[in-house]
Amino acid sequence: MKTRIFLSLLLAAAVVYVGGCATGKCGCKEARKMNVNVESFGKTPDGQAVDLVTLANSKGIEAKIITFGGIIVSLKTPDRDGELGDIVLGFDSLEGYTKEHPYFGAIIGRYGNRIGAGKFTLDGVEYKLATNNEANHLHGGIKGFDKVVWKIEQAEAASDEAVLKLSYLSKDAEEGYPGNLKCIVTYTLTANNELKMHYEATTDKATVLNLTNHSYWNLAGQGSGDILGHELMLNADGFTPVDEGLIPTGEIRDVKGTPMDFTRPKAIGSRIKQVDIGGYDHNFVLNGKTGKMKLCAKVSEPTSGRRMEIRTTEPGVQFYTGNFLDGSLTGKAGKVYQKHYAFCLETQHFPDSPNKPQFPTVVLRPGEKYDITTIHKFSAK
């Protein structure tokens, strides 16, 4: 009888131990399916500690994110032969990110993209922002969300996902924006090879908000050459034409019959010379309802076989072909980044929406919740 009781207790203890696999804290096979690791990535020039968080799954997908700017510093995926490759541009150390760079991999806020003349009027009050892009305001200003240290709220793995949750409090009048804004950005890597980015925010005063991620993609591998041979499909029948300062005119124009038509897969470089600003840097109007999950884009790279599919609840996406990369930046593994060595697909509300009432609203008021999701799914064929 005592033997039976002992065996029962032993079995119960074993069950509890195996059940703990979902936390990722044991060494069993189940725990190794998803993994989260946190380590130091150095300190900012003003002495703030920065962490590097690695999210990984059993199929070879590995995302490395730092708390400085919430930057995706590395994202490794397998090609058709199972060889891993890092498909985002960036730097090997924190120093590269604390110096001037083109927003590699960062969370962008409060307002992704441009606001014309660096000002907008909300509820009868005019707010003036920094003009850090000639006469316009770009990507949140002088010190946007890409240049602050975010706080880790959660970093843990379950059996089917690895999660990193970051938070930041943007205080009233920061960079000229009204309201104390509480932001949470959650990165989730799934067992299904998806990287989800979920953006949440609340405010105590009416403000404008447009968060996005600014990763530079090259599915053949970062620094491996230009992306003009990548095949792109955009689920967008319209785009917003811009003036010489890249501010939308307010018109939504049909892509049909223009170099902007990617409704069927086409090589990025097939008509890029027809774009008069030296490459693509345009907001596309996605088909489907704002706030509802929908297909945004599909990209494939013929040499490696890597593919990426993007879905989002946002109404638009900024397609940018690295037009301002010019060989002056040396990135990871000593790679020099030349023009068109990457593309960006920044899911977003439209540029200059605070000054364009005909565009979907970007106003967030007290009592409301900002709730946006974008999903990147990776595969190879």
- Which residues have a catalytic role annotated? 214, 346
Backbone angles phi, psi at 354, to 5 degrees: -60, -20
Q: Which amino acid, 119?
A: K
Residues sharing a CB contact under 8 Å with residue 256, sequence separation 6 or more, in sequence order: 237
Nearest-CA neighbor of 56 among 31, 29, 33?
Answer: 33
Residues sharing a CB contact under 8 Å with residue 212, sequence separation 6 or more, in sequence order: 107, 108, 109, 112, 113, 314, 318, 346, 347, 348, 374
- State the Cα–Cα distance between residues 102 and 90, nearest whole angstrom: 10
Could you tell me the end-to-end alpha-carbon distance of the chain, in angstroms, rounded to an integer?
Answer: 59
Q: Is the dihedral of CA 269, 273, 278, 279 positive or negative?
A: negative
- State the Cα–Cα distance between residues 287 and 272, nearest whole angstrom: 23
- State the Cα–Cα distance between residues 33 and 57, nearest whole angstrom: 6
- State the Cα–Cα distance between residues 51 and 43, nearest whole angstrom: 9
Residues sharing a CB contact under 8 Å with residue 343, sequence separation 6 or more, in sequence order: 216, 217, 218, 227, 230, 232, 268, 280, 299, 319, 320, 321, 322
Residue pair 227/342 in contact (Cβ under 8 Å)? The answer is: yes
Give the tokens for residue 206: 């009416």
- State the Cα–Cα distance between residues 206 and 123, nearest whole angstrom: 8
